Structure 1
Amino acid sequence: MGRYLARVTDTEATDTKNPNLNYGIVVDCGSSGSRVFVYCWPRHNGNPHDLLDIKQMRDSHRKPVVMKIKPGISEFAASPDKVSDYISPLLSFAAEHVPRSKHKETPLYILCTAGMRILPESQQKAILEDLLTDIPVHFDFLFSDSHAEVISGKQEGENGQRSEEVAKNLLAEFNLGCDAHQTEHVYRVYVATFLGFGGNAARQRYQESLAASTLLRNRVLGTQTGLSPDSPSLDQSQFLYSINPHSSHPWEFSDYCATRWAVLRERFDRGLYASHADLHRLKYQCFKSAWMFEVFHRGFSFPESYGSLKTALQVYDKEVQWTLGAILYRTRFLPLRDIQQDNFRGIHSRWRSFSFVYNHFLFLGCFGVVLLSILLYLLRLRRIHRRLFHPGSAPSLWIHEGLPQKNPQKTPNPL
Structure 2
Amino acid sequence: MGLSWKEKVFTALLAAAAVSGLTTLVLILVEATNVLLPAGTKFGMVFDAGSSHTSLFVYQWPADKENNTGVVSQALACQVEGPGISSYATDPTAAGESLRGCLEKALARIPEAQLRETPLFLGATAGMRLLSQKNSSQARDVFAAVSRVLGRTPVDFQGAELLAGRDEGAFGWITINYVLGMLVERSPAGPLRHPCYHSGYWATLAPGALYESPCVHSTAPRNLTQNLTVEGTGDPGACTEAIRELFNFSSCKGQVDCAFDGVYQPPVRGPFYAFSNFYYTFHFLNLTSRQPLGTANATIWEFCRRPWKLVENSYPGQERWLRDYCASGLYILTLLLEGYGFSEETWSNIEFRGQAGGTDIGWTLGYMLNLTGLIPAEAPAQWRAQSYGVWVAGVVFVVLTLSAILGAVAVQLLWPHD
Please indicate the TM-score interval, normalised by the length of the shorter structure: 0.5 to 0.7
Structure 2: gaps spanning 5 or more residues = 1-37, 178-182, 184-208, 222-227, 242-280, 382-418
**Could you tell me which of 55, 58, 70 is aligned with 2:73?**
55
Q: Which protein is richer in strand relative to its size?
A: 2
- 2:304 match: 257
**Could you tell me which of 104, 109, 124 is aligned with 2:139?**
124
2:128–2:162: 8 Å Cα contact kept in structure 1? yes
1:159–1:323: 8 Å Cα contact kept in structure 2? yes
Normalised to the residue count of structure 2, the TM-score between the two structures is: 0.53
Change (3 A) 1:315 1:205: closer
1:126-205 mapped onto 2 (5 Å cutoff): 126-137=141-152, 139-144=153-158, 147-162=159-174, 204=213
1:52–1:335: 8 Å Cα contact kept in structure 2? no
Structure 1 residue 205: deviation in Å? 5.1
- 1:206 match: 215
**Could you tell me which of 8, 17, 25 is aligned with 2:45?**
25
**Could you tell me which of 51, 58, 61 is aligned with 1:41?**
61
- 2:124 match: 112
Spell out, residue by residue over 1:150-170, the C-alpha distance to the aligned partner (whole angstroms, 9 max, x if none): 12223223322339x9xxxxx
CA distance in 1, matches of 2:337, 2:211: 16
Structure 1 residue 41: deviation in Å? 1.3
CA distance in 1, matches of 2:311, 2:234: 17
Structure 1 residue 89: deviation in Å? 1.9
Number of aligned positions between the proteins? 256
CA distance in 2, matches of 1:331, 1:240: 42
Change (3 A) 1:267 1:240: farther
- 2:79 match: 67
- 2:259 match: none
User: What residue identity is the alignment partner of 2:338?
Assistant: R
User: What residue identity is the alignment partner of 1:23?
Assistant: F
Change (3 A) 1:236 1:143: closer
User: What residue identity is the alignment partner of 2:52?
Assistant: S
2:39–2:64: 8 Å Cα contact kept in structure 1? no
**Could you tell me which of 354, 376, 386 is aligned with 1:335?**
376
CA distance in 1, matches of 2:212, 2:141: 26
- 1:372 match: none
Structure 1 residue 250: deviation in Å? 2.9
> Which ranges of 4 or more aligned residues in structure 1 deviate by more than 3 Å?
200-203, 226-229, 232-236, 238-248, 304-307
CA distance in 2, matches of 1:128, 1:40: 26
Q: How high is the sequence identity, in percent, across the aligned residues?
A: 24
User: What residue identity is the alignment partner of 2:360?
Assistant: E
User: What residue identity is the alignment partner of 1:28?
Assistant: D
Higher relative contact order (CA 8 A, sep 6+): 2
- 2:354 match: 313
2:80–2:98: 8 Å Cα contact kept in structure 1? no
RMSD: 3.7
1:34–1:73: 8 Å Cα contact kept in structure 2? yes
Change (3 A) 1:263 1:129: same
Structure 1 residue 299: deviation in Å? 1.1
1:250–1:307: 8 Å Cα contact kept in structure 2? no
User: What residue identity is the alignment partner of 1:206?
Assistant: C
1:265-284 mapped onto 2 (5 Å cutoff): 265-269=312-316, 278-284=318-324
- 2:8 match: none
CA distance in 1, matches of 2:97, 2:370: 28
Change (3 A) 1:99 1:295: same
Structure 1 residue 302: deviation in Å? 1.1
CA distance in 2, matches of 1:84, 1:133: 7
Structure 1 residue 315: deviation in Å? 2.7
CA distance in 2, matches of 1:140, 1:109: 13
User: What residue identity is the alignment partner of 1:25?
Assistant: M
The higher radius of gyration belongs to: 1
- 1:405 match: none
Change (3 A) 1:307 1:83: closer
